[in-house]
Chains A and B, each alone.
Chain A
Amino acid sequence: MSRRSTLFWTDRPLAFKGLVVVALPLAVLLGSLVSLYLASSAETRAEDDVRRAFAIQRDVYQVHALLAEAAAGVRGYALTREDRFLEPYYTAERDLPATMERLDGAIEDRDVRPRFLELLQVTQAKRDGLSATIALAQSADGESVDQIEQSLVANKLALDAVRQEIENIQQLEGVVLDRRRALVDDVRTRFLTLTAVSAIIGLLGSFAAVYLFSTGIVRRVGKLEGDAELLARGERLDDPPEEADELGRLAQRLSRASALLRRREDDLKASEERFRLVIERVRDYGIFTLDNKGIVTSWNLGAERIKGWRTDEIVGEHFSRFYPADTRDTLPTSMLERARVEGAAEDEGWRIRKDGSRFWANVVITALRDEAGELQGFAKVTRDMTERRRSEEELRLAREEAVAANLAKSEFLSRTSHELRTPLNAILGFGQLLEIDEEDFANPHRDAVRQITKAGRHLLSLINDLLDISSIEAGAEEVEMETVNIAELLEEVRSLADPIVRAASLRFDIYLPDKHTLVEADQRRTTQVILNLVGNAAKYNVDGEFVRLGAEASGDHVTVFVEDDGPGVAAADRSRLFTAFDRLGQQKLSRSEGTGLGLALSKSLVESMGGTLDYAPRDPGGEGSGARFCFTLSAKPVSASAQHGAQ
């Protein structure tokens, strides 16, 4: 078959192929049957013809026999006048018409038919002759003997004519018979030939069907099976066939599946290789695997670096040799058991290197299980923590030192405070006693006493602020955060600070936020900060008219502010505003006295509560238009009960 017809055949769908393969032999068989039927019916017809020819010959002989016997009988009768000689004649008269009729029906041949008509005439003449003879004999007398003799002679001539005709017919019928016999032989030969040809065609058709079945289906199914087998083994398939039928498509899909599998396999291999390389090259972590019993099965560069063994030295050894003698018998087993039960086990402790030195290791053992959950071994990751442990140790020591130093500082401050307070107690106490009795003194002494107590009180507030700052910085005093109603707190502070502001001849304005505004704050510290800020405002607002205290909520925080319309803080001084003991030259002002610690302390207090304390000019546009200090507190969401409680 040419390539194109092969392609045409293979591209047909399987149903079409099946139809062809089944229908081809069937059609050949059917053709054979039809030809057989036709041949056999032709033979039957030919044989019928032969049989008819034989029947004609028989009837012709019968006609001859009947006439001959009748003639003989008539001769006898003519001689004897005995009636019994007429019997054959009667028989002939009885049977001849039927025989002649049969012949009339049977003779069809164009050549024979005129002879038959001749025969009819001569037969009739003969019968007439005979009947005339009989009539002569019956009426016989002497003279009629001659007539009878003449009649007999005539009869004899008639019979000869009949005989002649019969011979003619028989001769002709013999020719017909021979022809028909030849025809039968011919038909039989043709039939045999046809049968042989049909058999050959049927055989060839079957061969063709088998061939088509083989090329179209069996061979390719076999190939597919082979492909599937290859696929199952994970081998690569050849290029996909081009056939467009179901098998072709199946083969193409198998081929695509093979390509896909191969690609995935390649990807997987590449990924595994990358992964293996990554693990192998990791230097900071010792990564290795153990079998179920704890025998080392793989070893990476990090493990070699940390522990000192090379791969070929350690694979096959039990991992307990990494443990120091005191834990070697128990810890490895219990670690594996824990990893087996819990999936992973972590530990930190001393391990042994190849050279016998110890290192502090962080170890994680992970159980490796297959998809069925069967234990496949363990993965162990080891990190050398010696360095970190050392730095942690150093850090801990440093922390302890710092704590000790801090304690020492607190102790020092506490002692200093005590040591300063004790003499100050005497100074201030006696000063106060003297003040009480000041009318006993002359004016200069009175002033001196006042200066002593004033200086003493200043020294005392210095000591108090210093102690406060250091204790806040050291975190010595706990911040007690609670929910505070800021409006109530401001009201309270106002009543406390009112005398201070009034003493400075200033108006004290207050801007309260919503009465339900709550903040998270240490109430005592917040009060201290506000008092300090209000005190500062009153102290430094020499030329202005008011001090303003207020709070405003915004988002998750509340800003408390203290403003005044005094000189404010010069831009150059702002960076030093919160520095301890830096009074920005304000000590020259006669009305202001202070420790220089108030803002530093306030800042510490606010920060200890998680807020910020800032300064800004009240009106950023112009200098000298007042100061604004503000600090933030975290707002607490208002709950219904809190609202109710506040009312």
Chain B
Amino acid sequence: MPAQLIDPKQILARRILVIDDEEANVMLLRSILQREGYTDIHCLTQSKDALSTYIDLEPDLVLLDLMMPEVDGFQLLEAFSRHDAADEFRPVLVLTADTTIQARRKALALGAKDFVAKPFDVIEVGLRISNLLETRLLYDRLRASTPSAI
């Protein structure tokens, strides 16, 4: 393991929002997260409630499925970035069964910070989650120390 800039406990305490219309996948992600030691986990299968939950919870990381009925992942990505302040770094990890390059490009262009194709490797997903949270924490720390620079 590389030298940690952030205390792992701090990472595990972050709030994670899981949005996926497939119950089994939500359960899988929750299992992975719990197994890793995360405590503040919120799951959602109704994508139409996603934006309000997002606003209410102000999560540190969103795990987002793309293909969902009613409101899809792309729309949510747009809504999140519209809502977030310009200086906010709130990473979204897209997890989708749509493996086309078009979907990948579109998601990343709309603000997703990372992209993992389903079916995914459990361990890989765990590592990507902790990396993104670490980045967020580092960003927060940087913003706190030099507010004027950002």
Contacts and interface: CB of A to CB of B under 8 A. Distances in A.
A427 B25 CA distance: 9
Interface in A418-442: 418-430, 432-433, 436
B20 to A, nearest CB: 9
Contacts of A422: 22, 25, 97, 118
B122 interface: yes
A418 B67 contact: yes
Interface in A381-438: 414, 417-430, 432-433, 436
Contact of A426 (B28, B100, B121, B123): B28
A417 B117 CA distance: 12
Contacts of B123: 432, 436
B119 A460 contact: yes
Contact of A430 (B28, B97, B117): B28
B24 A426 contact: yes
B119 A414 contact: no
Contacts of A428: 119
B51 to A, nearest CB: 23
Contact of A418 (B31, B35, B97, B122): B97
A324 interface: no
A414 B43 CA distance: 27
Contacts of A430: 28, 31
Contacts of A418: 67, 97-98
A204 B106 CA distance: 125
B79 interface: no
Interface residues of B, number: 21
B109 to A, nearest CB: 19
B99 interface: yes
A433 B122 contact: yes
B44 interface: no
A429 B122 contact: yes
A460 B28 CA distance: 18
B38 to A, nearest CB: 15
B117 to A, nearest CB: 8
A417 B118 CA distance: 10
A76 interface: no
Contacts of A429: 25, 28, 31-32, 119-120, 122
Interface string B1-42: 000000000000000000000101101100110010000000
Contacts of A594: none
Interface in B90-124: 97-101, 117-123
B97 A417 contact: yes
Contact of A433 (B25, B35, B98, B100): B35
B67 A425 contact: no
Contact of A425 (B25, B31, B100, B101): B25
A426 B25 CA distance: 5
A134 B24 CA distance: 215
A421 B99 contact: yes
Contacts of B28: 425-426, 429-430, 433
A425 B97 contact: yes
Given A430-B28, A433-B31, A433-B35, A414 B122 contact: no
A567 interface: no
A415 to B, nearest CB: 9
Contacts of B67: 418
A150 B36 CA distance: 224
A433 B97 CA distance: 19
A112 to B, nearest CB: 163
A407 to B, nearest CB: 14
A432 B97 contact: no
Contacts of B32: 429, 433
Nearest to B20: A422
Given A417-B99, A418-B98, A432-B121, A426 B35 contact: no
Nearest to B121: A432
A535 interface: no
Contacts of A436: 122-123
Q: Most chain-B CB neighbours within 10 Å: which of A414, A425, A467, A477?
A: A425
A456 B119 contact: yes
B31 A421 contact: no
A249 to B, nearest CB: 92
A22 to B, nearest CB: 111
Contacts of A417: 97, 99
Contacts of A460: 119
Contacts of B117: 421
A351 B33 CA distance: 75
A414 B24 contact: no
Nearest to A424: B119
Contact of B98 (A414, A420, A423): A414
A601 to B, nearest CB: 16
Contacts of A456: 119
Interface string A522-544: 00000000000000000000000
B22 A432 contact: no
A414 B25 contact: no
B101 to A, nearest CB: 8
A467 B47 CA distance: 28
A211 B32 CA distance: 139
Interface in A459-518: 460, 467, 477
Nearest to A437: B35
The CB with the most chain A CB atoms within 10 A, among B67, B117, B118, is that of B118
Nearest to B21: A422
Contacts of B24: 423, 425-426
B122 A425 contact: no
A395 B22 CA distance: 44
Contacts of A424: 118-119
Contact of A421 (B27, B35, B118): B118
A477 B35 CA distance: 39
Given A432-B121, A433-B35, A460-B119, A414 B100 contact: yes
25 contacts: A414-B100, A419-B97, A421-B117, A422-B25, A423-B22, A423-B24, A425-B22, A425-B24, A425-B25, A425-B28, A425-B97, A425-B119, A426-B27, A429-B28, A429-B31, A429-B32, A429-B119, A429-B120, A432-B122, A432-B123, A433-B31, A433-B32, A436-B123, A467-B99, A477-B101
Given A428-B119, A432-B122, 17 more contacts: A417-B99, A418-B97, A419-B97, A421-B99, A423-B22, A423-B24, A424-B118, A425-B120, A426-B28, A429-B119, A429-B120, A429-B122, A430-B31, A433-B28, A436-B123, A460-B119, A477-B101
Closest 5 CB pairs of A and B: A421-B97, A426-B24, A425-B118, A425-B119, A429-B28
Interface of A: 414, 417-430, 432-433, 436, 456, 460, 467, 477
